[in-house]
Structure 1
Amino acid sequence: MSLPPTLSLCFRISPTRASSPQLSSRDRSLPPLRGGENKPMNEHVTVATPAPATPSCARAPMGLLMELTHRCPLQCPYCSNPLEMDKPNIELSTAEWQDVLRQAAELGILQIHLSGGEPTARRDLEEIVKTAAEAGLYSNLITAGVLLTRERLQKLAENGLDHVQLSIQDADAENADRIAAYKGGLLKKREVGAWVKELGLPLTVNAPLHRQNIENLPKIIDLALELGAGRLEVAHIQYYAWALKNRAALMPTRAQFMRTVEIVEEARERLKGILVFDFVVPDYYAKYPKPCMGGWGSGIMNITPSGKVLPCHAAESLPGLEFDNVKTRRLADIWLNGPAFQKFRGTDWMKEPCRSCDRREIDFGGCRCQAFALTGDATNTDPACSLSSLHAEWVKVADIESAKPAPEFVYRRIGGDKPKRETA
């Protein structure tokens, strides 16, 4: 599939909040941002349905990930923020974010995901949520929860917040504190979960999984049920950015991973109609790579705190890409014609074995950022793919590192690698 340099939108989706069956007022649970269909996991790969080729137009993105800030009180060793984070003094203003939301609705975007860092560190979050509701956008707050109060959450709900996604580090309080380097975090998250339930908001629990909490997966599932979550994302760590620094401390063994497959499959069947599971596998144990954001520049846009618009969360790690900013270019124009979005959109950029592969419009050759980080060339096949010449070496790394004792975490904070303890 090849897309021409200048595109137009195939259609414009009406930005009505109930226009999508998934987002109706009766069932306000949020589809996952990355995908994670309810299906057997015997191949351990996220499957995407290939989109038909379109010669002269592009579909509007369904989702917009808004990184409101990179500020965060936690120090997680798998932090997904870029190595070079945006400072608070260059963050977009309230008015600029509000303009982004209105542009998103005009473009046909349906969902906005308010993320960070920790989005509740922004004092204007209520205003941003209100503008999203006024624009007809379905809003999802992705939060660690530790900065929230009940009063503030109620105000967010009153202003139109549709959904809360709450991250947890473990179901064991002591280990959760150790992982996040934040004392009392799990207790606070339990409080937030109770408030979400009281206010009638749908809740997704996000549980990043790794070798230092993986044995507690059954307890994590129980915790999600206790909190009243409608969806649980069991997300094995993806080893980009800061997580790559901690790969040896986080990588589970293959046996541990396979056990999580069994646990999730059993729980998915047992809790059918009660709890929806999204399961994200570690690339190192996958047969095929996951499609980057469902295909580069095809479904999701990402805006950094300073206003740069990215095709994927980690795209800034690729050298030579030019990223437009919402301060100087309209969102629709960036989506359709921005050079970063054009770079790996479609399939013409592919080399072998991707170019002739039957899966080229299913997984799109895998993650471009991972391909660059591990091979030095963003156009190479993602080593997560079994067809990559580097796949065997890639798997060997996981086997070796997971078999050794876990080293100490390198925590995500400015000024050193030892945790600074804070009180919730």
Structure 2
Amino acid sequence: MLQKLKYIFSVLKNTYSYTNSINEYFLDYYLRHHKIIGWHNGLPVYSSFLTPGLSKPLGNHLARRMISDLIDKPLPGVVHIGVTDICNARCEHCSFYNAMDQPGEKVLTTEQMKKVIKDCQDFGISIIHFVGGEPLLRKDLCELIKFIDKDKSVASIFTNGWLLKDKAKSLKEAGTMMVNVSIDSTKADIHDKFRRLPGLFDKAIEGLKECQKVGLLTGISTTLTQEDLLNGNFEKMILFAKEMKVNELLVFDTMPIGMYSHREDLSKKKTDRKKLFSLVDKYNHEKDSPGIFCYAHFRDQSVFGCSAGRNFFYVTPYGEICPCDFTARPVGNILNESLPSIWFKLEEARQNLPEKYANECCNQEPMLITMGNKLNK
């Protein structure tokens, strides 16, 4: 009997070790790290772009992947929902600027937003990010977060942090997993000038601290240019995130869209990825540093590629479905058409793109024209 128990224990131990190795391999592949950055409802979190380990939303994610394989078509797992078209900042690089406060357009009501959330969850979405404008300006945001079926999806928000300190407790009570605050510089005066809102840096930091106090996971969202990488500003941001004890640093490319539509140089200047990834790996392997989600890695074709129309889509404050936040080219409106029919129309346009554009952003030439024409037919 004792020998039998030893054998069973050995099998279970080896099975766990094998399963854990596979888990670490896939996390390293997608995130460039496999460390637990925090805990949500007692379960391990690796990124705000992944469902917590062993969670019901993870089961939902795996079921979607299985169905996707069976029908041989990609199905979305992540959605960004724009809940408002207004903002209290006027950021120099704002990607939403051209769509802000559109005359004649009506932002979705509470009930319409709830329908959007339900349709997304019924379609298998396991990660919901609320964005703006500035999402905390929407008075019913916490009601919308509460409405989410937490057995199917986790919810996070992206905010500039101006109103965060007073909203943190309500966000926690509503079931929010993570709050990501946009920070563009470790220096308050530079950040506030860039965001054109005096005092924003201090309010954002106060908001982050309050979120941590009430038990929310926190992240800093920042944009990267080649100059930031070369002059040391990016490493300073990593060290700042470490000092702030946030769970994750999310790094996005600066795009020639919105307020930066005239910045054609941004699409021509390629970030030194070898240097970038070297820095990311250095700090991702430090246990006391936040996890670094580097979108330049994730959207590399050797890893996943651009997720717009493949794993991800964006819902505008008016109910329009777009490939992503950076491509304001609606494929349909969720109020007038079913989400699956819109998705497969978007996915078809994506699949028909020439292979050489697979790793490009669809808001940059010539893919912008190619995909834009297809979506607007």
Considering the TM-score relative to the shorter chain, is it more than 0.5?
Answer: yes
Give the match for residue 232 of structure 1. 249
Which runs of structure 2 are paired with 1:327-346 in the superposition (5 Å)?
327-336=335-344, 339-345=345-351
Which structure carries more relative contact order (alpha carbon 8 Å, separation 6+)?
1
SS of 2:45's equivalent? coil
Give the secondary-structure state (helix, strand or coil) at the position aligned to 2:98.
coil
Q: Does 1:70 align with 2:85?
A: yes
Shift of 1:142: 0.8
Residue deviations 1:110-162 (CA, integer Å, cap 9, x gap): 11000011101111111111111567421001111112233x22112112111
Q: Is the CA contact 1:290–1:367 (under 8 Å) kept in the aligned structure 2?
A: no
Q: Give, in angstroms, the shift of residue 369 of structure 1.
A: 2.9
Contact 1:105–1:135 (CA<8 Å) still a contact in 2?
A: no
1:230 CA displacement? 1.4
Question: What amino acid does structure 1 have at the position aligned with 2:322?
Answer: L
Verify: 1:326 aligned to 2:340, yes or no. no
Note the alpha carbon deviations across 1:235-284, whole angstroms, 9 max, x for none: 331333432324559997867x7654443333223x246421122449xx
Q: Secondary structure at the match of 1:83?
A: helix
> SS at 1:207's partner residue?
strand
Is the 8 Å Cα contact of residues 204 and 233 (structure 1) preserved in structure 2? yes
- C-alpha distance in structure 2 between counterparts of 1:323 and 1:258, whole Å: 36
Q: Residue 96 of structure 1: which of 112, 124, 127 is its match? A: 112
Change (3 A) 1:156 1:53: closer
Secondary structure of 1:371's aligned partner: coil
Q: What pairs with 1:33-44 in structure 2 (closer than 5 Å)?
A: 33=49
- CA shift, 1:197, in A, is 0.7
Count, aligned residues: 319
Report SS of the residue matched to 1:203: strand
Change in Cα spacing, 1:325 to 1:98, as seen in structure 2 (3 Å) is same
Q: CA contact under 8 A between 1:103 and 1:332: conserved in structure 2?
A: no
Q: Deviations over 1:160-179 (max 9, x none)?
A: 11111111011111111111
Report the Cα distance in structure 2 between the residues aligned to 1:167 and 1:75, rounded to whole angstroms: 13
2:130 matched to which residue of 1?
114
Mapped partners of 1:80, 1:288: distance in 2: 27
Residue 373 (structure 1) shift: 6.5
Aligned to 1:297: 309
Q: Does 1:364 align with 2:364?
A: no
Q: Residue type matched to 1:300 in 2?
A: F
Residues 309-337 of structure 1: per-residue CA shift (max 9 Å, x gap): 122223335xxxx622121122233224x
1:86–1:306 CA contact under 8 A, matched in 2: no
Q: Does 1:218 align with 2:235?
A: yes
State the match for 1:130 in structure 2. 146
More helix by share: 2
Partner of 2:290: 275
Deviations 1:16-73 (A, max 9, x none): xxxxx99963345363549xxxxxxxxxxxxxxx999958453542111101122112
Match for residue 22 of structure 2? Answer: none
The residue number in structure 2 matching 1:312 is 324
Counting aligned pairs with the same residue, the percent is 21
CA root-mean-square deviation: 3.7
Deviation at 1:204, TM superposition (A): 1.6
Q: Distance in 1 between matches of 2:217 and 2:138?
A: 22
* Aligned twin of 1:169: 184
Please give the alpha-carbon distance, in whole angstroms, between the structure 1 residues aligned to 2:367 and 2:310: 22
Mapped to 2, the partners of 1:30 and 1:92 lie a distance apart of 32
Structure 1 gaps of 5+ residues are: 1-20, 35-49, 355-359, 381-424
Shift of 1:77: 1.9
Gaps of 5+ in 2: 1-35, 51-64
SS at match of 2:261: helix
Return the TM-score normalized by structure 1: 0.65
5 Å matches for 1:50-65? Answer: 56=71, 58-65=73-80
Deviations 1:381-410 (A, max 9, x none): xxxxxxxxxxxxxxxxxxxxxxxxxxxxxx
Write the distance in 2 (CA, Å) between the matches of 1:61 and 1:181.
35
Q: Does 1:147 align with 2:163?
A: yes
TM-score, scaled relative to structure 2: 0.72
Secondary structure of the 1:369 match is coil
